[in-house]
Amino acid sequence: MKRFKAIIQYDGTNFVGYQIQPNGRTVQEEIEKALLRMHKGEVVKIVGSGRTDTGVHAKGQVIHFDSPLAIPPIKYRKALQTFTPYDISIVSVEEVASDFHARFGTTGKEYRYFVKRSEFFDPFARHFTLHFPYELDISLMRKAANVLTGEHDFTSFCAAGSSREDKVRTIYSIDVIEEEDTLIFAFQGNGFLYNMVRILVGTLLDVGQGRLTVAQVKANLEARDRTQGAKTAPPQGLYLWEVYYQ
């Protein structure tokens, strides 16, 4: 039995998220179905670095699984791709040490959020960006991003129903990148709470529009109270961009 690490991409539009659900199509289910076919009916479970929600995309999701098949990794990638639907891409498969763990072994993640600022709605970008044709003060957003960077209790910036007790996370960096009419928020950190990136994006957009001051963002962070927070940005602009391991 060998352990494999795979990097996968997916267009989240037609999934109810990464993790298997009783109802709805999921990324995990599709990959496990592909592995079931490769293994001629033997069940192979996969472990992902974490979940992504309905409509959220991945450019660099990482999974691991154990397989008895004696296939070179390069052929493994092609074989797995063959059995996988077109909205998932298998970027790489490599053999790893038997103690590699896609979830517990992470040292950090990067998420990116794409905002399309064109005046007119772009039908080709509708599943992949948030359309936001309003004025934004980028320098104020960068100031608020600085306030949010670092080690903090992010209770005010995670979904109210979240059950994790420890809400302290470290954000290494928040970059606000302008590329033509697209604004990209890049978040690097040691971990992110449920809906945290989308709530941070909602907050930064509120700051950019003058609906929230940088001082209010600081006060919200210190209040540790989700009811103080901004609205959650919609899922289609969000990508799990990269997962880091030692």
Pick between residue 121 and residue 146 the one whose CB is nearest to its own copies: 121
Helix (H, G, I), strand (E, B) or coil at 150: strand
Cβ 87 to its own copies shortest distance, Å: 5
Q: Is 91 in the site for its own copies (CB under 8 A)?
A: yes
Q: Is 104 in the site for its own copies (CB under 8 A)?
A: no
111 labelled ligand-binding: yes
Q: Is 89 in the site for its own copies (CB under 8 A)?
A: yes
Binding-residue total with its own copies (CB under 8 A): 18
Six-digit token string for 3: 């352990």
CA dist 111 to 11, 56, 78, 114, Å?
15, 11, 27, 10
The one among 29, 53, 87, 94 contacting its own copies by CB under 8 A: 87
Which residues in the chain belong to E strands, given as ranges? 2-10, 47-48, 57-67, 88-96, 106-116, 130-131, 150-153, 168-179, 182-189, 238-245
| Residue 115 CB contacts under 8 Å (≥ 6 apart), including other chains | 129, 130, 132, 182, 183, 184, 185, 201, 205, 237
The one among 70, 86, 165, 227 contacting its own copies by CB under 8 A: 86
Q: Is 126 in the site for its own copies (CB under 8 A)?
A: yes
Six-digit token string for 236: 């289609």
- Buried b / exposed e over 97-129, threshold 16 CB at 10 Å, is eeebbbeebbebbbbbbbbbbeeeeeeebeebb
Q: Is 157 in the site for its own copies (CB under 8 A)?
A: no
Does the annotation mark 53 as catalytic? yes
Pick between residue 34 and residue 217 the one whose CB is nearest to its own copies: 34
Q: Is 5 in the site for its own copies (CB under 8 A)?
A: no
* Per-residue contact string for residues 176-205; x = within reach of its own copies by CB under 8 A: ------------------------------
Binding-site residues, please?
Answer: 111
**Chain positions contacting its own copies, by CB under 8 A:** 9-11, 57, 81, 86-91, 120-124, 126, 128
